[in-house]
Structure 1
Amino acid sequence: MWCHKILVAYDGSPASEKAIALAQAIASESPEVELVLVNIMRLVGGGMTGAGMDAVLADDAEAMRQHLLEVAANAANPTTVKVLSGTAPAELILRCVREEGCDLVIMGSRGKGGVGGYLGSVSYAVTKSSPVAVLITKEGDCR
């Protein structure tokens, strides 16, 4: 198999759901391929945090973690779930790639920032600095 461990960055968007499906399709080629499903709990900087904001972030992260645990429980390949927290999602994803020994990253892109609406700011930063291949899924049809 050309890859052994795939990191999937998940943010709850339709494009990140596609990323999970694509990772599972690639992994289905070999039972030894491992998946690492990662959600980033983005911490808000600049004094904008408070008990209420922290609770909302924690609730969102927990809901996504539960969804990913469900996906992992039903996956054919070995699958782990990680929730990482910080203010720099791309850096957290890249650190996880290195620590886990992943050789492929699959993530969605909403295209809200970054490069001319084609890549979001996080997917652009990961693509630019990743030591391994990065596959980007987009929202909408694949036609």
Structure 2
Amino acid sequence: MKILVPVDGSAESLAAVHHALQLVRDGLRATLLLANVQEPASLYELLRVHDADAIESIAREAGEHLLQQAVALCSAAGVDHELEVARGEPAHALLDIAEDEGCSMIVLGARGRGETAGGRLGSVAHALLHDARMPVTVVRTSV
């Protein structure tokens, strides 16, 4: 079984990593796919840099940096894991990753702060709950 765990470097995403690791410690035979999605380059970045490869390299490095804590947690726990850094709109990119990589479930943190149902979850969590074809676990942290 492969579990997709989106990681953006926030405390909420690291709580999701802890939750997924606990599932494995409790006996679930799974590997984790730690994924970070970088937003597409802005018009300013495209005009300023003029080099698509450089922009891609910067985005990849930023994504890998944001995954470092999650990688350290998985390594310390002895849990097999893979990394994916993607570009695009986060919810759509994560759904594509989950399907392309054959993930059986998604475990993610909720960052929402708004008053509406979707706002309390966060837009990415809300979209994944509605559109994913596999189970989605949303890990809430105390406010």
- Bin of the TM-score, shorter chain as denominator length: 0.7 to 0.9
The whole-number CA distance in structure 2 between the counterparts of 1:42 and 1:59 is 13
Number of aligned residues: 136
Q: Is the 8 A contact 1:41 1:84 kept in 2?
A: yes
Shift of 1:58: 5.0
3-state SS of paired residue (1:118): helix
Aligned to 2:52: none
The answer to whether the Cα contact below 8 Å between 2:12 and 2:109 also exists between their aligned partners in 1 is yes
Identical counterparts, % of pairs: 27
Moved over 4 A (4+): 54-59
* Cross-structure match for 2:136: 134
Equivalent of 1:16 in 13, 16, 32: 13
Report how far residue 94 of structure 1 moved.
Answer: 0.8
* Higher helix fraction (1 or 2): 2
Question: Once the 2 structures are TM-superposed, how far is the Cα of residue 7 of structure 1 from its aligned partner?
Answer: 0.8
Structure (1 or 2) with the greater strand fraction: 1
Could you tell me which runs of 5 or more consecutive residues in structure 1 were left unpaired when the two chains were aligned: none
SS at match of 1:74: helix
Moved more, 100-109 or 67-76: 67-76
C-alpha separation in 2, matches of 1:31 and 1:136: 18
TM-score in terms of structure 2 length: 0.79
Q: In the TM superposition, what is the alpha-carbon distance from 1:17 to its structure 2 partner? A: 0.9
